[in-house]
Amino acid sequence: MSGIAKDGADDDSSALGSWATDFAGDLLADLFSALPWDWEGGLAVDGTLGWRARGGSDRTKANLRSAEVTLNGNISEALETHMSLHATRRHVELDHLTVAYTYLPGDGSLHFGRMPIRFGRQMHQHVHELSTASRPRVLEEYLGTTLTTTGVHYDSFLIEGPVKSLRLFAGAFGSMDSEVHGRRHDHSVGNQELEAVGLSARLVGTGISAGSGDLRLGASWRTLPDYTLTVRGAAAAAGLSNRILGLDAEFSPTAAEWTLGLEYLQMNGDLGGSDDTGSGLIDLVAGSRAGWLLSYDRPLSEKTSLGLTLSDFEHLDAGADHETEFAAAWSWQAAGFLRVRLAASQQVSDSEDDVTRIMIQLTGVVGSHNHDHGHTHGH
């Protein structure tokens, strides 16, 4: 039987892993207790070993995708600070550094500094926090793998009850950075200088009864009223604007533990541009594009889970070519500090080669790895 350890080897290994995790956690706690404020922090490391086939060729590659150090502290009863240092194989970036005042009405808080944007069900989460191995392609195309803003962010419960709630997130920012796999976004979101303050908002309602389960509904909005687009090898284009609207729903049945999610995105305005070869000018792309994302998450046992996503969207280029992506991931919490994941995905595009990926993902967490965006995974 798989649950019986031979000669106690599995028990010894489990005990050793538990001891190592406890030791590392206690060491971090001792270090943070020596600081003048009430601090906690941790380290998360994410790596993959993957195979990719594209256009008749394939390759196998090991990749240490990211290492992230988080540090959260209470300066006083009303003030908190949050810091996240995120390192990839291309660069090291301070992607979260905020001071928050938390004594506003409605259990509200006001955050100042650099932070992930609140848009949809998952853009505020880092990739290693997702139920699949990568950010869905529709979100990468319209928003980026990561989307970080610098400005002010407001968070408050307009309605807060034992079951039902209505929560508002609103932000105003003077700069925005968007990346796809560590590189600046190919479209306007990643190659722009904001000439006016960008705005964002998200409204989330929870605890809505829907048949034999609960429904959560959300709406997100982001606008850039005035920005300048730069494209390598071409002149800059100024006075551009665009906006993105997102609608999302999440259903969880009362008698089961699975979750079904649906998101819709629409982007309007100046979508981006490319170098007009030979002229030194930018071929601008304007109009409207849309896409959707369907997700399914289900725990299989105490330590294993399944995540599935299906998405379809129009590219932001002039042809508005369609792309469909299916992704699946099986996750196993091998130890308190280690998650092992087997993942596969298929991308089918009208204008580009199909891409198939299979990978093993390892994610290790030591200490308390918490973010102030409400999603916590600590060990």
* pLDDT tens, position by position, 100-139: 999 898 789 999 999 999 999 999 888 888 999 999 999 9
Average pLDDT over residues 90-95: 82
Return the higher-pLDDT residue of 374 and 250: 250
What is the Cα 160 distance to its own chain's centre? 26
Rounded Cα distance, 200 and 172, in Å: 6
Token pair 């300066």 is at which residue? 75
pLDDT of residue 285: 87
Residues in the chain: 379
SS3 for 23? helix
What totals of helices (H) and strands (E) does the chain contain, helices first? 2, 19
pLDDT of residue 86 exceeding 60, the answer is: yes
Query: Which of these ranges, 6-20, 54-68, 254-268, 352-366, has the smallest mean pLDDT?
Result: 6-20
pLDDT of residue 170: 97
CB atoms within 10 A of CB 374: 12
Q: Do 37 and 72 form a contact (C-beta atoms < 8 A)? A: no
Average pLDDT over residues 6-35: 52
pLDDT digits (tens, 9 = 90+) for 327-372: 999 999 999 899 999 999 999 998 889 999 999 999 999 887 765 5
Average pLDDT over residues 18-44: 63
pLDDT of residue 374: 37
Reduced to 3 DSSP states, what percent helix, strand and coil does the chain have, rounded to the nearest 5?
Answer: 10, 65, 25
Q: For the domain made up of 9-378, give the CATH fold.
A: Porin (2.40.160)
What is the Cα 339 distance to its own chain's centre? 18
Average pLDDT over residues 289-313: 96
Terminal C-alpha separation, the chain: 29
pLDDT of residue 210: 83
What separation in angstroms does the CA of 313 have from each of 117, 289, 293, 348?
21, 8, 9, 11
Rounded Cα distance, 240 and 287, in Å: 12
SS3 for 164? coil
Rounded Cα distance, 82 and 96, in Å: 7
pLDDT digits (tens, 9 = 90+) for 205-238: 998 888 889 999 999 999 999 888 877 766 778 8
* Residue % of the chain over a pLDDT of 90: 49
pLDDT digits (tens, 9 = 90+) for 16-26: 445 555 655 55
Residues contacting residue 52 through CB under 8 Å, at least 6 positions apart: 58, 59, 60, 61, 355, 356, 357
Least Cα distance to 95 among 149, 41, 144 occurs for 149
Average pLDDT over residues 76-102: 87
Mean pLDDT of the chain: 83
pLDDT of residue 245 exceeding 90, the answer is: yes
pLDDT of residue 375: 33
Query: Which of these ranges, 52-66, 109-123, 180-194, has the smallest mean pLDDT?
Result: 180-194
pLDDT of residue 2: 37
Q: Do 288 and 265 form a contact (C-beta atoms < 8 A)? A: no
pLDDT of residue 125: 87
Instruction: Say what the pTM is.
Output: 0.83
